[in-house]
Structure 1
Amino acid sequence: MIGIVNYGAGNIFSLTSALERQHLNYGMVNTEADLDKYTHIIIPGVGHAGAAMKKLEQTGLVGPIKALKKPVLGICVGMQLLTDHSEEGDARLMGIFPLKTRLFDKNQGIKIPHMGWNNIEHKNNPLFDGVANETQFYFVHSYFIEYNPIFDIATANYGTPFSAAIQKDNFYGVQFHPEKSGTAGELLLKNFSTLTP
């Protein structure tokens, strides 16, 4: 059963709708005690990373989430919260991944935010079981996680290569929105629900 961290900075409706279409049971995580009720945890996120981090800190869930041994998935800003630092608001984040979240460079002739469908190249990882390489996923973001071959499990390119998905132990992150990415995105959510610690 999936627990969705409810800290006021996530697009919960789209996510719960996608989980319901896949017949995946879920509930909301509002307190530390709620974390024990679920086998898998999702941290959704939209908007400003610095503001989202402040909201998450106010819940008292940062330490308990970092201590989890069960599978955790950060989506979009939820993924960025797993990194050390974001240029958005010069914010110190959870520090689970020793990576930085950076602003796209508009001098490369690209529009910011990066919005729309983009294909990804993924590595052989259980999160992407059954998902063809070069499949397109839906992105909406102005900030990206710097590419790092140690943690990168999927790469996209928008002016520069960046991490579309990362993994470290039981922690996963995706920069795209699987809940808005059609069949492939819903398959990814289903795959996440079957991951073991």
Structure 2
Amino acid sequence: MKTLLLSTLLACASLPATAFDLSSPQLRDGQAMSKAQEFNGFGCDGGNVSPALAWKNAPAGTQSYAVTVYDPDAPTGSGWWHWLVFNLPATTQGLPASAGNDATLLPAGALQSRTDFGQPGFGGACPPPGHGKHRYIFTVHALKVPRLDLPADASPALVGYMLWANGLGKASFTATYQR
């Protein structure tokens, strides 16, 4: 019996762990976003539509999720936050396209906070003309708490702090855009 149990444990230990994963039917890691995800304002005239997102294999103990979109290449010295949505229930496995533009598409209790555009909701790509290709990091954060006790006007820095303080894991992909 001990030999069978040891063999079973060794076999299970050698199986690859399934990684927390984030994907989108509209976007691919390392590929350019379409005009649909370009901001509409600040000299940009895109559709400003948040893409659909799906995730799987969250870490054990996940009690809620948050989604962020960040451009580390923005010429600000601190990057640019394009979307912050949190208090997504643990049963959530993704968001439909336009969820960042139409809060009725978000799960009950979800909250979108202020972006660097100064308002809540999805703000699409809008790099300065001639500034080259910018990276847009889409991330789903698995959290160890059922909700973040933050107001809707919380700054991106405060949301980021709370994500790091309560994170169990995260999954990301990076899309690009240039004008």
TM exceeds 0.5?
no
State the structure with bigger RCO (CA 8 A, min sep 6), 1 or 2: 2
Q: State TM-score, norm by structure 1.
A: 0.26
Bigger proportion of residues as helix: 1
Computing the radius of gyration from Cα coordinates, the structure with the larger value is 2
Q: State TM-score, norm by structure 2.
A: 0.28
